[in-house]
Structures are given as C-alpha cells and as structure tokens.
Structure 1
C-alpha cells in the first residue's frame, strides 16, 4: 500500500493507497473503493493481509491500519494487518519479489458497516470518550472539547504496534465499557490508535478533525492574529 516500493512480499498485489482518495483526507465513495479492490483481484470474501508504510510520514503502519479500517467499513471480515513491513518480512526470512502479482479482476460487493466510523453528532453527544491522537503541539492549538491527548506514536514501538502490556498502560485513562472515538486531522494516523483499541477489545470509532471543523458555525471558531482560523472549536 506504500506510495512506491521495489520490494514486495511474494504473491502480494500492489495498490498505492492514495488511489482510494478523492483528495487528501477524503475517501472515495464505497462503490468506487470496491471497484478499485475488485480490479486488483480482491473480493469481499477473500482473506487479506495488509501491509505498507506512509513514506511521507516517516514510515509506520498508518497506511495499513487505515486501509484495514476502510475494508472493515466495507464489511470485509477476513482482513488482518501484517506486524511490520516487507523489509521486516525479508529480514525474518520470508520470500519476497521485485514485482507484485497481477490477478484477474473480481467483483467486490461492499456491505457498508458504519460501526467503525464516528459522526459529528456522536462526537458532540457527550456519550463517548474522545482521543486526540495528533501531536501535543497540535492538541495545544485547539481540540475537540473533552478530548484526551494520546499521540498516535504512544501505541508504537520501533514503528510497530506495541505489546499488549504497554497498550494496557497507555489505555489506563479509558473506561473499557464506554465507546471511544479517535481522531487526527484526516484520520490516517488516528487509525493506528483505533486499530490498537480494537485489538484490545474496545468499542472504537474513527473520526477526523477536518469533519469537526467543517461542522462548526463560523462565529464559534476563533480567528488568530494572522487572520486565519486557529482551529479552536468551542
């Protein structure tokens, strides 16, 4: 799923993750995403292992966890995320190839599942725990009221999802019996924390700060000294 790669796990297919986006941070419609998957030779019934890195982000699993969230939202049950990269796979002795497989087209019929996505109304309802998975400086500039700062890197070790003992410590501030909403600016990096929460048995949903700000009334947003919005939502 990385932007470009000359190393592939043997037998894998290659889809640049940006193909799923209409524009940065805005996913294409479900039927369009399903068409891309189908053209790549995937059906909703297939077992899929997802791997890839966000190279502009400096690496890490956010691409893989975001595509996992996306596929779960399409109703894809048999999907998992590889613990590591193609390079990690090769280091462990796994077979690799310099080129990806090209499979015959399949029909991908989505069964949209909205249970993994938060809406503006849910976020403002006061009935969920809210995690701001952006950086501390971004959190300090303005956040969704009631949010807890939990930078996405807090659930990583060596750019992989950390172990369960560490995750238990990171998530100590949360009530496991109450739904959790995770957000970053677009949701890409937030999906890393969302994935870790799901892995640990939490009822978690993904959200974006873009959507929160888009739903604010203009007179409820502060303007900074330069004349621009300082992204503080009241």
Structure 2
C-alpha cells in the first residue's frame, strides 16, 4: 500500500499499483513529519515507516539520526530510497517478527475509506511497536474536513496544487487534485473518509492500542501506545 487512498489519474512517469505518480511524490518535500517523530522518540531510535513512498520522510528521519525501515508495495517508489532498510510489502500483511521504537503511519493513510483496511493498518502498527514505543498517526483535520473547496491548494517545491473538484457524500469526500510543475502536470482523483476523535479511539482500542495524546493543536497527529 503506497498511498492514503485509491488514486487514479494522469501524468508522466511510472505509477504504483494504487495509482500514485512516482515522479510527483519523488519531487515533493517532507512536511515536518520527521520533526514530529523527533519530539517524542530519542535520536538513534528505530522507526518503521509504513507507506514510505520514494523516501521524502525517510530521508528526513535518517538526517535526524534514526534507523529507518521503509515499507511500501511499490518497487518503483522504494528504488529512490537511500540509507534505509526497505521492505516491499503491503502494510496490511506486514509481519517482520520484530518491533520498533516508533511506527509511523503518516500521509493520512488512516483516512482510507474502508473500515476493514483501516483495522488492518492499525493491526500492523500493533504488531511492530515495542513495549514503551510510540505509534504516530497522521489524519486529515476533522475540523476542516468538509471545508475543502475547488481552487488553489498551495505550492511546495515549485509544484502548484489545484483542487479541480470536490464532492462530499456522508462521511466521504471525493477529490480531484491537479499538481503542476514547470515541466509536468499530474491529475489524481481519490476518496477519503472523515475520522473523528471517537472513531479513531474506537479503532485504536479494537487494535489493542490506546490514544496517549495529541501532538499538535489541529489534532492531526496522534500518539498511540500499547493498551
């Protein structure tokens, strides 16, 4: 599993089995994920990064002194990672037989629009976190989940993001996002589900985890521990 939701779309370069553009994600920078880990996990610790993509967060973690095992189900994504152990696997089926100081489930993977898949993601986190370790989970901000509207959606590393369309349906949002660089453009359509505090707490409990605390005021990042 290499993306938060099922992606479809167009654009140059290789695509993963779930539709992500390898080239687009290769160009995108980290967005403070490594610093979030560093706030709770001592330098030198081991980190299992689930859904690493081409390593934008992996490389930032390595630069801060962490020993990273990067997991993705795309060999094309993993080929861009340097300095980390890599594992080609679906997150849901992963069982390395060892544990880590921290397990990172970033890129809003938890917003996958299927309860069974979300449960499998959290079960993988539970299998791999060491006693006393941390599971760090990034979700879409529930307070602004349904505020998303068509129009400009920011710029990073010379790539402009534009929301072409949004359709809200119950707890789901169906989004088409266009990303434009000077030499290329990509369009990706995906669906994500609102995950509120109560739903996250219940899902964690079902997986044998519990919410320890929120790591940021918007409550996008949660820290879970063994129950």
Q: Pick the TM interval, shorter chain.
A: under 0.3
* More strand as a share of residues: 2
**Rg larger in structure:** 1
- Given the two structures, how large is their TM-score scaled by the length of structure 1? 0.23
* More helix as a share of residues: 1
- Given the two structures, how large is their TM-score scaled by the length of structure 2? 0.23
